[in-house]
Each structure stands twice: as structure tokens, then as C-alpha cells.
Amino acid sequence: MPDSGITRILITEDEIKATVERLGAEITACYMGIAGERVVIGLLRGSFVFMADLIRQIKLPLVVDFMAVSTYGDGTVSSGDVKVAMDLDESIENRDVLLVEDIVDTGNTFNKIIRMMHNRNPRSLRICTFLDKPSRRIAHVDIDFCGITIPDEFVCGYGLDFAQRYRNLPYVGVLQVE
């Protein structure tokens, strides 16, 4: 059973859909009237499900790129050690960039990635996260577009994983951590 270990559903499919639609409308309104196409960058692997739904809600020209970063390995607590396994294919110099993440937890990953992105001289850099867990924040992160703020629980589903499992769940559930 793909959801064994999930103790309860935290965010339903309908809540996810409404959140993604709201974020798409907010992002579209923010960039409306700004010439050029946006570069929407997803942080793999967790953001791919959210980002696929999100870009369909953004009603403006855009291109997609990805970075692969890791901080959790197979654990439930971030190690704080950010590893970049795959870098961007697209240049972001003098372009409007939207960095998309599944969840902002400690903020350590985003601080490293944001510094890397700023060093590449984008015209603008904005952050969109599906989930925000501010109670765990160690490093400050300015989030421009936030889906849902959640409590300090380990969650899986809708792209979020534990040891590469649970990503395919259509909802976000709380994982029983032993």
C-alpha cells in the first residue's frame, strides 16, 4: 500500500488544487506587463509535481529549468549540507527568475541556492514554495509566493518524499516517524 505509514491527511487534493490555482493567479498578476519570458526553476526532486501543476496556471510566456539539490538523504531531518547534483541548462542573466520549491523548512537550502542565483545576475529573483514550515527556520528566507504554512510535522505526498517513497500520493499526509 503506497500510503502505509501516513497517520493522517494534512492537505487534501481539493486544497492542493485551490492553492495551486491561487498561486498561479498571483504569479501571473505579479509578472503581468513585464516584457520577456520568465525562467521557472524547479528544485528536484520534490518540486516536480507542484511545478508541473503550477506552470499550467501561469498565464504568461515562460521556460522551465531544473536544479537537483539534496539535504535530506534518506532521513527525516535536513543534514544542512546542500549538494548540487545537477545545475541549470538555461542562462538566467538579465532574466526574471522564479525559483520553485516543494517546502521551505530550515531555509539553509534556499540560502545557498539564492546566493548562487544572485551571482548569475538575474533581472529579478522570486521564490515560490508550496509549503512553508516557519517553526523550523534557521536561516531567513523571503518567500514571495507561499502556498500553505504547515506545523512542524514530517509530511509526504504530492512530490514530497521519505527515502524516495510517497511522492505519488495525490494529497499531503503526515508520516509516522519512529
- Answer yes or no: is 152 within a domain: yes
- Answer yes or no: is 90 within a domain: yes
pLDDT tens, the chain, 178 aa long: 456 789 999 999 999 999 999 999 999 999 999 888 899 999 988 899 999 999 999 999 999 999 987 665 555 555 556 677 898 988 999 999 999 999 998 888 788 888 889 999 999 999 999 999 999 899 999 999 999 999 999 999 999 998 889 999 999 999 987 6
- Answer yes or no: is 1 within a domain: no
Domain count, the chain: 1
| Cell 501561469, located at residue | 58
Give the H or E element holding residue 44. strand 38-44
**C-alpha cell, 131:** 509549503
CATH number at residue 60: 3.40.50.2020
Hey, is 116 helix, strand or coil?
helix
Alpha-helical regions (H) of the chain: 13-31, 48-55, 108-118
Hey, is 134 helix, strand or coil?
helix
Hey, is 65 helix, strand or coil?
strand
- Answer yes or no: is 162 within a domain: yes
Q: Which residues are catalytic?
A: 105
CA separation for the pair 17, 171 (Å, rounded):
10
Pairing mode, if any, of strands 38-44 and 6-11?
Answer: unpaired
Domain extent for 152: 6-175
- Answer yes or no: is 41 within a domain: yes
pTM above 0.85, yes or no: yes
